[in-house]
Structure 1
Amino acid sequence: MRFLFSILLSILPCMASADASPLIGESGLAGATADLDAIADPSADDRMALGGILFLRAVERAYQLRWRYGLTENLDLPLLAGELAPNPTPEPISPTMIADLFSAVIDDMAAAEDVLATIPPDADPSFELALPDLWFDVNMNGTRDADESFVDTALPALIGRWRLQVLETRAQQNPDAPSPLRATVRFDRADVYWLRAYVQAVSGISETILAFDPTDELARVIALRESIAEQVQRSGKKRRHGLVFGAEDAFYIDAIAVLTETMRHRPDASRLGRARDHFLTMIAHNRIFWQELAKETDNDREWIPLPTQASALGIVVPENVDIAWLAVLSDGEKLLKGELLIPHWRFANGHGINLAAFLDDPGPLPLVQAIQGEAFIPYAAQGELISSANWRSFTRLVQGQAGLYALMLN
């Protein structure tokens, strides 16, 4: 859920050119992409808008893939969260679904980065996005139907339905209060780097998932379900209860089976190498974002505000959060470079897992052997271990909402 929250809000800064917001509302993300891409001499605003829309299209494509296969309930997984309108005639699920999804995401992120990288360093892009204009063409009919708006699809998964109800009540009581139900966000120069950081983060996560590739395991689950469906057809009824699990638990058991078996693969080292590069680039862009943000003197419907600015969404960003968050990112950078080690309960004092060594020459990570420690022995090293001090400081600063703020700040 929170992952999707970060993704969706990472898209916002790029979609808001002077004309991009109503264009999305009228023509959808696909139509807006085509119109902006057709501009012969795009401005910096146009480029940022197009880059953001390409980012959002990744979310829309994920929704469309889910709808196509009838996976319309909230799956609470990366790019798969949110409840969608049901598909009356879904296709049989394909074992390549996850691989297809994240391969498309990588392509979309590369396209977004190609556009955002063309914004001149000295440019000062500025544009607006009205969140009520944002919708996803879930059923791929080219029309904005009921239950396809941002508020109907993504927002409940991001913040929970009960929080959404609270927001709706507050919006009725105080129509002038900032709210994601009706906010218009103005994005500017600093947000270009924030968005580029998010492009890199999503690309890195996608490459990591594809490095392990669950296609074979999904094929086995599909075969199991087909076999059980034949049993039901022969007997005329489905088994409803077991000694421990009921039929409704099958999805979660299957998901655990896919995950644990997938971790037995030897990952694709080239994909993990690209993932590391994406994460390091993400950190570099994030640092530039905070540098650019510190230079701002305006206060106009801000996405991530300075202490002297107001948030368009009504979100309070504590003072010094930049220092605390950059310290967390610095820890992550040192892990990726092997300068800090990951502790393991089984290892001796002063010894840990060298993540850089694993990324250079990755091996299988069977769950039991990973917990036991055997799977990590090839990557064991002596050195400085990462501590939780910076993360704890960040958590205290944001009053226990570290997950939400981490995804928002990227």
Structure 2
Amino acid sequence: MLKLATVVLCAALSVSLLSSPVLADEAGDLARKHLYEGTIGQGLTELKPFYERQDLEGRFGVGLLSFIQGVEHFAQGLYRHGFASPDAGPIMGAPLAMPVPVNPNPEPLDYDKFRAILQLLVDDMDAARDALLTAGETGDYVVPVEVLKVRIDLDGDGKGSDAESIGNVLNAMFGAATVPGPTDPGAPAPTPPTPPDSTIGFDRADAIWLAGYSQVLAAQADFLLAHDFRALFDTTFHRLFPRAGLPMQDYTRSTGTLMLDPESDNAIADALAAIHHLNWPVTDADRLKRVLSRFKIITGLSRRNWEAILAETDDNRELLPSPKQSGITPDARITDAQVQAWMATLDTADLILDGNLLLPHWRFQKGFDLKAYFESAKKTDLVMLITGYDALPFLKDGPIASAESFAEANAVFGDALIGYAFWFN
């Protein structure tokens, strides 16, 4: 769940708005107004007429605001129940910083309410995908947007505040740059550093890119929803929602000592409980199959995205530049070799998703059929999959993925492959 929330924030940093000639100017102005004021719901209402008359930019605006609304709904759900960065103690590492304000009066949370939060995320992301894909079909538009000014209503009070702008959220998470004080008490105060230019020129290719990210988020939520993870929720989620009335809420600060100290021992106990309950029965087989379908959609949209990027003839502060474009920073350059390596990586991923290339398992000479798992698994027990027994039904003979399968990507991207994968989508 933490990974899902993190990924949601990172995707939200790419939100944009639309601005183009004639009627599109009006739609773009409306989208810009509501993005910067943090009034996303009102913006969707006002953009509806543009969507209905099949204005591509208006449809993009609806898809964009729907995406952001999905981010808002998820963040608001966490806030409503008092989500807090887990105090994992020294054994478990530093707490994870999450962009959700502290709720002084959280509501009680139960398993069904948490599933409802995930389901709403799925619904919002699918609605955003549909609108964004219609806007990604055609159209030559460039939309300059100052993304750090975009506000997201994290606490659900109906309007994004200045503190809820993407820029200020990032400052709160990672710390703002400080200006050294003057050495001479009588000297004038130093000039604060100029904020970086956060303007990105969003275009049709970015509509496809964002549609792909909607499925990255929906796939993760759908995977959880395909299972019954109630035992994990009841025994460990007090770490994430410390004042939501969960069963172990009052026992995270016990004074007893098992091995080290009370704080560390409590963190270790909860980590062991989490591992013990990573055994989830599949309760919705169709939904689990849909996760596989979403992965296939993601790879397909990545190809479409690059087709659109490579067809561009402009160079206007590109979020994801072609080898002929400069990107938003001097370092944001892509080579032909990187594009070719990414396409080869997508081909390899599709072979795995189609069951034509198997995943290696440390314990077996046969390979693990990921497609068969998504299509027929009755449960997901992470420990038993890793140790081997639960992998038995999905083993088969055939080619097995190895470093050689990703040789081109490894040669071009090296250790930075994961970072590029997140960027390239």
TM interval, shorter chain, is: 0.7 to 0.9
Question: Is it true that 1:207 corresponds to 2:210 in the alignment?
Answer: no
Counterpart selection for 1:142 from 135, 138, 158: 158
Deviation at 1:347, TM superposition (A): 0.6
Aligned to 2:382: 367
Question: 1:44, 1:125 within 8 Å by CA — same for their partners in 2?
Answer: no
1:143 partner SS: coil
Aligned to 2:85: 73
Distance verdict in 2 for CA 1:292–1:216, change over 3 Å: same
Distance verdict in 2 for CA 1:151–1:399, change over 3 Å: farther
Question: 2:360, 2:400 within 8 Å by CA — same for their partners in 1?
Answer: yes
Identity across matched positions, percent = 24
AA matched with 1:22: K
* Runs of 5+ consecutive residues of structure 2 not aligned to the other structure: 20-27, 89-95, 180-190, 240-244
Aligned to 2:59: 47
Distance verdict in 2 for CA 1:197–1:228, change over 3 Å: closer
5 Å matches for 1:300-339? 300-312=316-328, 316-319=332-335, 320-339=337-356
Deviation at 1:334, TM superposition (A): 0.9
5 Å matches for 1:1-400? 3-4=7-8, 6-9=10-13, 11-13=14-16, 15-17=17-19, 18-19=28-29, 20-39=31-50, 40-41=52-53, 43-73=55-85, 82-119=98-135, 121-153=137-169, 161=174, 165=177, 175=194, 179=196, 182-221=197-236, 238-239=254-255, 241-244=257-260, 246-247=262-263, 250=266, 253-254=269-270, 257-258=273-274, 260-266=276-282, 268-312=284-328, 316-319=332-335, 320-348=337-365, 351-389=366-404, 391=406, 393-395=408-410, 397-398=412-413, 400=415
Question: 2:234, 2:246 within 8 Å by CA — same for their partners in 1?
Answer: no
- For 2:150 and 2:75, locate their aligned partners in 1 and report how far apart those are by CA, in whole Å: 14
* Runs of 5+ consecutive residues of structure 1 not aligned to the other structure: none
Distance verdict in 2 for CA 1:155–1:175, change over 3 Å: closer
AA matched with 2:279: M
Distance verdict in 2 for CA 1:230–1:197, change over 3 Å: closer
Return the structure number with greater relative CO, CA threshold 8 A, min gap 6.
1
Distance verdict in 2 for CA 1:228–1:266, change over 3 Å: closer
1:185 partner SS: strand
Deviation at 1:4, TM superposition (A): 3.5
- For 1:155 and 1:114, locate their aligned partners in 2 and report how far apart those are by CA, in whole Å: 33
Distance verdict in 2 for CA 1:143–1:155, change over 3 Å: same
Length-normalised TM-score, structure 1: 0.82
Q: CA RMSD in A?
A: 3.4
1:347-366 deviation line (CA, Å, top 9, x unaligned): 12xx1111111122113233
- For 1:328 and 1:384, locate their aligned partners in 2 and report how far apart those are by CA, in whole Å: 16
Deviation at 1:174, TM superposition (A): 7.0
1:194-222 deviation line (CA, Å, top 9, x unaligned): 22222222222221121124234323457
Deviation at 1:385, TM superposition (A): 0.4
Length-normalised TM-score, structure 2: 0.80
1:328-376 deviation line (CA, Å, top 9, x unaligned): 222211111100001111112xx11111111221132333322221101
Question: 2:345, 2:406 within 8 Å by CA — same for their partners in 1?
Answer: yes
